[in-house]
Homo-oligomer: A and B are copies of this chain.
Amino acid sequence: MVRGQRTGPANAITDVAGLRVGHAHRTGDGWRTGTTVVLAPPEGAVGGVDVRGAAPGTRETDLLDPRNLVERVHAVVLSGGSAFGLDAAGGVVHRLADAGVGLPVGGPGECVPIVPAAVLFDLKRGGVFRNVPDAAMGAAAYDDAVAAPEGRALETGAVGAGTGAVVGGLAGGVGSASAVLPDGTVVGALVAVNGAGSAVAPATGEVYGAQEPLGGEFGGLRAPSAEEVAAWGGPAEVRLAAENTTIGVVATDLGLTKAQAAKLASAAHDGLGRAVRPSHTMVDGDTVFALATGAGPADLEDFQRVLGAAPEVFARAIAHAVLAARGGPHARSYRTVFPSAFPDGGAGGGVGDGST
């Protein structure tokens, strides 16, 4: 573990100054899906991506190849809805263009917003296969990000792209975390956890991503009782059905080149590999985007430290997703299956948890 870290004030990706997050989602009446947007500052953030799962659904990833022209992205969209959900990005593109934010290409106000996106598979988790995010849901997530008052706490769990998420048979969701390095550099992550593998150790019921907490971020979380582990019966088998995918964003206020941003996205995948086992399977489209908001280029030693921190932050974000997840007819939540893991007996986060 990188020494001398502490969490940022929000312990969330929004600790990277200039980034805003918005969610939109719909549940009930056959729905259980949503969209999350991470908004860069208006001037954009240097972007990168690493698509490491074998069943990805993506949009505008090719332009992030470091050999290519565009350096800065204006938002990243994460969405449920599998391939259908890629439409959500279009709603964000149009909202940004309305606001005059994008790559300038013509006269005043004429710009093309750069909005890479990735989707996860949550079809039919609410009951109806074709109830999927669309451009309007993307626009609503954008509006949520823009309307957020300064300092609003980031919502996690069954929100946005994580609304219908399931990981290893338990409810997944959105999680976030941050780290402030000794030199003041901030690294943050946001993830929608929906992997085929398990975020929970079969033998102990412990959350993999919570193995190396920063301070008391997990609030006295402990190994659950042997009885609960036995009653759980272990994670869902990793079947060859393309009904998964974990997607996320890692961000820093360090100034990076585009190639360094791609490297940062790769590093975060190591955190996914630690926190969801297995990850990156043939039926996961695991994709991580990177955003760098600082004025570059970074000193190589500084970048090396950020690379070391990124997997940890990403893994912690996954743990927060699992711990904040709410169950329902689609899956039970960690909190419901392992109440003994929590000092409060699992009551604290159970609000709205309809699982049994």
List residues of A whose CB falls within 8 A of some B CB. Answer: 51, 54-63, 65, 67-70, 82-84, 86-87, 89-90, 93-94, 97, 103, 105-106, 110, 112-115, 121, 123-124, 129-130, 134-135, 241-243, 282-283, 285, 287
Contacts and interface: CB of A to CB of B under 8 A. Distances in A.
A317 B252 CA distance: 46
**Number of copies of this chain that the complex holds:** 2
A105 B123 contact: yes
B83 A56 contact: no
A90 B97 contact: no
Contacts of A103: 242
Given A57-B60, A58-B59, A123-B105, A94 B86 contact: no
A55 B69 contact: yes
A112 B84 contact: yes
A73 B57 CA distance: 13
8 contacts: A58-B61, A62-B287, A69-B283, A84-B112, A90-B134, A90-B135, A105-B121, A110-B124
B60 A86 contact: yes
B57 A63 contact: yes
A59 B118 CA distance: 10
User: Nearest 10 A-B pairs (CB), nearest first?
Assistant: A87-B90, A56-B62, A51-B62, A55-B69, A54-B68, A58-B62, A59-B59, A54-B69, A110-B129, A83-B112
B242 A69 contact: yes
A69 B282 contact: yes
Which of A69, A134, A283 has its CB near the most chain B CB atoms (within 10 A)? A69
A87 B68 CA distance: 22
A137 to B, nearest CB: 12
Nearest to A90: B87
Nearest to A67: B54
A93 B83 contact: yes
Contacts of A285: 62-63
A89 B70 CA distance: 22
Nearest to A97: B130
Q: Which of A62, A65, A93, A285 has the most CB of B within 10 A?
A: A62
A62 B56 CA distance: 6
A103 B253 CA distance: 40
B97 A84 contact: yes
A32 B241 CA distance: 43
